[in-house]
Amino acid sequence: MHPARQKVTDVDQYLTLFPEATKEKLEQLRELIRDCAPEAEEVISYNIPAYKYHGFLVYFSGYAKHVSISFPPRTIMQTFHDELSPYVSSKSTVQFPLDKPLPLDLIRRMVIYKMKENREAKP
């Protein structure tokens, strides 16, 4: 069974499910998100870590060979399309391989962009 399929109740528990290389990247993502969005509420949604700030802001998850961040779709993936081209991505998720450094500046800008987008969204 993949670690993420085990039912978790909080982010600390989620992080314990992964080998050290994956856990290290997940902790980097968590720290970056908390730094960008200190007011965001940390929750578990779809059995993965998520942050709520005027709606869902960002999710992150771990896998055997990569970590992922996901954003509720609006315009974020199109806005950062060119910068995301080196990575496997979909309409809402980006995969970052474990054997390469995380693009922390890019992720930071994406989280800040999504915060603004969420604040400006019509209810």
Tell me if the pTM is above 0.85.
Answer: yes
Alpha carbon distance 58, 78 (integer Å): 16
- Structural domains in the chain (count): 1
Whole-number pLDDT of residue 1: 37
For residue 51, give the nearest of 81, 13, 12, 11 by alpha carbon. Answer: 11
- Domain that includes residue 88, residue range: 3-116
How does pLDDT run across 47-71, given as a tens digit for each residue? 999 999 999 999 999 998 999 999 9
Residue 69 CB neighbour total at 10 angstroms: 21
Q: What CATH code is carried by the domain that includes residue 48?
A: 3.90.1150.200
Q: Is residue 15 part of a domain?
A: yes
Instruction: Locate 62 and state its tokens.
Output: 């771990």
Q: Which residues are CB-contacts of 104 (< 8 A; sequence separation ≥ 6)?
A: 28, 32
For residue 80, give the nearest of 114, 40, 54 by alpha carbon. Answer: 114
